[in-house]
Structures are given as C-alpha cells and as structure tokens.
Amino acid sequence: MKKHSARVAPLSSYSTQVLTCPNSEGEEGSESHAETPCSEASGESRFNQTCANTALKVLGGLLMVLCVSSSWVGTTQVVKLTFQSFSCPFFISWFSSNWNILIFPIYYSGHVVTTGDKQTPRQKFRECSRLFGEDGMTLKLFVKRTAPFSILWTLTNYLYLLALKKLTATDVSALYCCHKAFVFLLSWIVLKDRFMGVRIVAAIMAITGIVMMAYADGFHGDSFVGVALAVGSASTSALYKVLFKMFIGSANLGEVAHFLSTMGFFNLIFISCVPLILYFTRVEHIGSLSSLPWGYLCGLAGLWLVFNILVHVGVVLTYPILISIGTLLSVPGNAAVDVLKHEVIFSVVRLTATCIICLGFLLLLLPEEWDAVTLRFLATIADKKTEEHGEELTESSIQTRSRSRANGTVSVPLA
C-alpha cells in the first residue's frame, strides 16, 4: 500500500496541474490573441519607419551626389576662368586652403542647431582635439601631426591647378579619378588590406587609361606634362588618405572638422612664406592687391570649401559610395561644359581613355564581399527557377490525370 500510495501521489498532483493548466493557458491565449493586433500594428509602424528612414537616406544621398559633382565641376571651371586673368596656381591653392579654417565653426553652428548642445566653442574644440591624443593638442603634436598632411594637401591642389593649365577640365578630372586605384594599391602594400582580383584589374585599367591619355598627342609637349601633373595630384591625394587611415584611423565628424581647420591654420602660419618667395623670385607675379580678381578667387575658394564639407559630411550622413559616384560624375559634367561653352573637340583616344578610367573607378567601388553576394544571388535565382519548373510539372501531371479520367482511361502502374 505504501508503494501504491507513493505511486499514486505524484499522479494526483500531476492531474491537478493538468486540470488547472488549460484554464491558465486559455486565459493567456486570450490575452495573446488580444495583444496580437497591437504587436502587428507596432511591427508595421517600425517597418514603415525603417523604410521611410532608408528612403530619406537614399534621397539625401542622391541630392548629395548632385551637390558634390556640381561643386567639383564648378571649382574646376572657375579655375579655368581665373587663369585667363590671373595665372598664379600656388597663390590660388594657398588662398583656397586658408578657407578650411571655417570648417570647424560651420560644424559647431550646425551641431548646436541640430542637437541643442550648450557646450561653448572652446569646450567643443577641446573635446574634438582628442584626435591628437589623450592630452589634447600641444604645439609639438600640432606640428608633428598636421605638417605632413598639410604639405600633401597643398601638393595635391597645386599639382591639380598646374595640370589645368596644360589640359582640359575633362582630362584632368578623369585622371584625378585614378586616385582611387592608387589608394587600393597603397592600402594593399602598406596597410595589408585584403587582396581583390577585381581591384587589381581596375588598377590596371586606370594605368592603361593614363598611358592612352599621354599617348593621345604623343609623348611630348604640354599634353604629356599635364598628364604627369594630374597623375601626381592623384598620387599625393591617395597618399594623404592612406596616411590618414594609418595614423588617425576612424574619426567622427567633429574630429574631422577640427583636423581640417587645424590644417587651415597650419597653412596660414607656416606655408604663407612660399607665396612670398615665389613673388620675390618672380615665379608668380601677383601684382597689387587691388588688381587681383577677388570675385573669381573668393568664388573658387567657396566652391572648394563646399566640396570638402560635402565630402566629409556626406560620408557620415549617407552612403560613402554615393560620394565617390558624385566625384565620378564630375567627368561628364566637365565634358558637357567643355563641349558646350569652350567648344572642345575630343579625340577618339582621349574618349576611350576617359571611359576606361571611369570603368576602373566603378570596379573599385565594388564591396569586398561582392563575389559571395553575387553567387548567393545567382543561387537564389536558380532555386526559384527549379521551384517554378517543379510546379509546372505537377500542374501538367494533374491535368493529364484529369483528362484521362474524363476519357475513362486508367493508367496502370508497372511493377
């Protein structure tokens, strides 16, 4: 009896749980059924909000593409107009680089308006100066970190302006797009980035376009010198970006604005001696201050400033690939202006070289996992086709069976 009672006791306790559980489950089930419409509504609202945010980001990116391309086209064309009355490329580069000082004040104003932050400009400047280290910016760090980047920045702009004196705006903007290939090669060699065959092909295409551009008018004269200057500008720009990634790494928008303004101060303090040397050695004849084309100079510096702000802000607010596409679209934009306004006639060799460089630039925009994504996409399409083919076979077999039954025929399966 003790054994039986020991066996029965758990059963009785289990039976009470069984009897009570359905009621509680029913209540919970009713509550879950009552909460289902609310959860579905919240899920739909989240989905709609996500779609709206993505759509706004894409539309903002497209607008950013147009602004980047138009500002870069405007900068290049204003440079060509400025050279008609004032041919001092280093002074133009120095004057435009000084305007980078305004980037941090513009960033701080936008930050205060959008976030309502009550930090003073001095506090925000100190917070962003952590880019130079935990102790902030000192004079030694100011010179050590800013000097190489400022020199590369000045060389990039100066060589670009010199190339515009020798070549058309379309050729120079197309050759400058080769900096993307140089960035990949330097990152692969110096930073040990992942090797990608498609990017090697893109780099080879860029080099092929450069050679064809130099061969267009023969390997002599202003054309060859202009191509060399444009390639030099693209090379220094690539070196600047690789060194920035190596020594500074990932930085937020405030730190980037702080760094660019710091380079503007360095340019104003330390590089101001170079235009004076060029003036006294009569390499660049500046003339009196009243004779300078201040309208062109200020317009050029303003457009260059807008381009730099859009490039660095667009990377944070939208997709970085859209900013690269905006830079690429400056090539057809400059070509349209050259053909319609300056009546430039492009040779077949130059057009072919430009198309090859642009195609290589587009190949460099492919993500690192593009091959896996492509294979996955093709496998998905193949699975869908097999499923559709299987459904068609089942439907055809059902139709043949129904027809055979209507005709009174019976198919006997073979053993």
Does residue 32 belong to any structural domain of this protein?
no
User: Is pLDDT at 292 greater than 80 in this prediction?
Assistant: yes
pLDDT band at 397 (very low <50, low <70, confident <90, very high): low
Q: Helical H runs in 248-284? A: 253-270, 273-280
**Amino acid at the residue 373:** V
User: What is the model's pLDDT at position 192?
Assistant: 81
- Cα 378 to Cα 409: distance, rounded to the nearest angstrom: 43
Total domains in the fold of the chain: 1
For the chain, the distance separating the N- and C-terminal CA atoms, rounded to the nearest angstrom, is: 61
Cβ(404)–Cβ(410) under 8 Å?
Answer: yes
Is residue 382 domain-resident? Answer: no
What is the pLDDT at residue 252?
Answer: 81
Cβ–Cβ < 8 Å for 308, 257: no
pLDDT score of 398: 65
* Nearest-angstrom CA–CA distance, 152 and 266: 12
Specify the pLDDT at position 389: 63
Please determine, for residue 415, whether its predicted confidence score (pLDDT) is greater than 80.
no
Of 185-189, 193-197, 251-255, 299-303, least confident by mean pLDDT is 193-197
C-alpha of 388 from chain center? 39
The model's confidence at residue 335, banded by pLDDT at 50, 70 and 90, is: very high
- Whether 294 is in a domain gets the answer yes
- For residue 159, being part of any structural domain is answered with yes
**Average pLDDT, stretch 69-97?**
93
Residue 320 DSSP label: H
Residue 329 resides in a domain: yes
Nearest to 308, CA basis, from 264, 270, 268: 264
Q: What angle do CA 236, 240, 246 make, to 5 degrees?
A: 140
Q: How far apart are CA 366 and CA 202, in angstroms?
A: 10
For residues 108-128, give the mean pLDDT: 84
Backbone angles phi, psi at 218, to 5 degrees: 90, 155
Token reading at 354: 């430009």
Domain assignment present for 21: no
Helix (H, G, I), strand (E, B) or coil at 345: coil
**Residue 263 resides in a domain:** yes
Residue 50 lies in a domain: no
Answer left, alpha or beta for residue 138, where phi above 0 means left and psi between -120 and 50 means alpha. Answer: beta
Average model confidence (pLDDT) across the chain:
80
Q: Which domain holds residue 196?
A: 60-374
